Chain A
Amino acid sequence: MTIAVVDYHKGNLLSVQRGLQAAGAQVAVTDRASDIASAGAIVLPGVGAFADAADTLRRLGLDGLLRRRVAEGAPFLGICLGMHLMFEEGVEGAPEPDDEESSHNAVGLGILPGVVGCLPRTDEAGNPYKIPHVGWNTVSLAGEGADSSAASALFDGIPDGEYFYFTHSYAVPDGPFVIGRTRHSVRFPSAVRYGDRAFGVQFHPEKSSEAGHRLLRNFVSLAQEG
């Protein structure tokens, strides 16, 4: 069983590749549709800007393929921007809207509904927060609306409130698909699912020490179950 790490020509996939290998997976870093079509599982990693990455996926002819594989139940993990790309639209790197009526957002894969937006720079009381949200923050799995049964496959053996490493300025919309949340200026979704085999995480498991390693091992186990 090979896990395809989708290479959309932005930055460094070495850490993700090595993280998955350390978790026991055979890994192919690839931008080829044939590799992704035949892979046992797919990881969409995350660096760069939404609009640019979405364009690259379309140019490589991978957008429809990724949608189809997820719909068919292939194990899938989107990391950071890879999680953002699972959604319908993103504001990052998209042209400024001319007016409030027209939407100029970039189009994502549309596996999950909604628009990926900026993390607010202030909390509800107006207190300032630093953006990008950089560093180690906790993921609550048991929060309101979290689906703990689906969360358990990916977060098996990871305590509620564990620290993971984040670095991002944008966040995905909330919804019934959220399985973990994190608090910065606002409480935002830090882990999502589509069905019980496709996941997205806002943090970087490959940079999150032992907890991150455990999460990748859980994903690899899920993928190896076939």
Chain B
Amino acid sequence: MLAKRVIPCLDVAGGRVVKGVNFVGLRDAGDPIELAELYDAQKADEVVFLDITATSDKRATAQELASRASASLHLPYCVGGGFRSVEDMRSMIAAGADKVSVNSAAVADPSLISRAAAAFGSQAVVVAVDAKAVAGRPNRWEVYVAGGRKATGIDAVAWAAQAARAGAGEILLTSMDRDGSREGFDCALTRAVARAVDIPVIASGGVGCLEHFAQGILEGEADAVLAASVFHFGEFTISQVKESMRSFGIPVRL
């Protein structure tokens, strides 16, 4: 039976791991490769590196990171942040990344998803969706781009469905309302997206206690759960999270 995945996310800026609280107030949490090796040993199911400072001229740093990661890690990993073109993604995959995630550029030009899927296969293309609840409209979420700074007016559930049809292999869904809040995943949002697409959905944003991981799977109907700070600061190990999920009857790789 396919195990539900536990994925630590490493937000990287200037070659160091940082984690924004509600996307502001960055704190340094160490060397990305060292941390990823620790998670590999703890049986993380994969790792996401998000280069939050990535711009085309800083691309070389991210490529170096991908290359170091493929030399040290024995698990799949995804790199995201600032891809504008298939060529940007190709250089990252050539450097050793198993998957690339796209966000703003795919919203600006959805054909980027289908072109990337044609070039690398759907399994390598993750579409990251940052969603925020629309005030006064229950069960409506809006897509934000540019690292959560810019509203688009696009419905998050409809966008995820469109991305899946275009050839995305997975949706990495972050609730901006919950990110950094420690209140748990936005399970209503996650479930709405999970039911609208036939590809795996990774829930992200809001973990504060062990039970939240199981909630993301059972109530949010996610295929994988992602968190950052709670891992980086040693609050929980990956194994503790998986033990907790297993106690709820969720299949995990221990």
Q: Does A60 contact B (CB under 8 A)?
A: no
The stretch from B49-57, B69-77, B146-154 touching chain A is B69-77
How many Å lie between the Cα of A57 and that of B4 in the bound state?
A: 36
Determine if A134 and B200 form an interchain contact, defined as CB atoms under 8 angstroms apart. yes
Taking CB atoms and an 8 Å cut-off, the chain A residues in 127-153 that contact chain B are 128, 130-138
Minimum CB–CB distance from B135 to chain A (whole Å) comes to 32
Partner of A130 from the list B40, B70, B199 (CB cut-off 8 Å) is B199
Q: Does A213 contact B (CB under 8 A)?
A: yes
Q: Does A104 contact B (CB under 8 A)?
A: no
Taking CB atoms and an 8 Å cut-off, the chain A residues in 6-36 that contact chain B are 11-12, 14-15, 18-19
Determine if B198 and A130 form an interchain contact, defined as CB atoms under 8 angstroms apart. yes
The stretch from B80-88, B101-109, B115-123 touching chain A is B115-123
Given contacts A15-B98, A18-B70, A121-B198, contact A209 B40 (CB under 8 A): yes
Determine if A47 and B120 form an interchain contact, defined as CB atoms under 8 angstroms apart. yes
Determine if B121 and A48 form an interchain contact, defined as CB atoms under 8 angstroms apart. yes
Q: Assign chain B's interface to a size class.
A: 20 to 34
Partner of B3 from the list A15, A121, A163, A204 (CB cut-off 8 Å) is A163
Total contacting residues, chain A, CB less than 8 A:
36
Q: Number of contacts between A and B (CB, 8 Å)? A: 94
Determine if A135 and B224 form an interchain contact, defined as CB atoms under 8 angstroms apart. yes
Partner of A209 from the list B43, B98, B120, B124 (CB cut-off 8 Å) is B43
Partner of B170 from the list A134, A184, A213 (CB cut-off 8 Å) is A134
Taking CB atoms and an 8 Å cut-off, the chain B residues in 29-46 that contact chain A are 40, 43, 45
Contacts of B96 in A (CB 8 A): 12, 14-15
Minimum CB–CB distance from A164 to chain B (whole Å) comes to 10
Q: Which residue of B lies closest to A162 (CB)?
A: B253
How many Å lie between the Cα of A14 and that of B70 in the bound state?
A: 7
Contacts of A221 in B (CB 8 A): none
Q: List 18 A-B contacts (CB under 8 A).
A: A12-B94, A12-B96, A12-B97, A14-B67, A14-B94, A47-B120, A121-B198, A130-B198, A132-B169, A132-B199, A132-B200, A134-B223, A135-B2, A135-B3, A136-B45, A169-B123, A209-B40, A210-B74
Q: Which 6 A-B pairs have the closest CB atoms?
A: A167-B123, A163-B253, A136-B253, A136-B3, A14-B96, A137-B2
Residues of chain B having any CB pair with chain A under 8 Å: 1-5, 40, 43, 45, 67, 70-71, 74-76, 93-98, 120-124, 169-170, 198-200, 223-224, 253
Known contacts A12-B97, A136-B3, A209-B74; can you find 18 more A-B pairs with CB under 8 A?
A12-B93, A12-B98, A14-B94, A14-B96, A18-B71, A48-B121, A49-B121, A131-B199, A132-B122, A132-B169, A134-B170, A135-B2, A165-B45, A165-B75, A206-B74, A207-B76, A208-B74, A209-B43
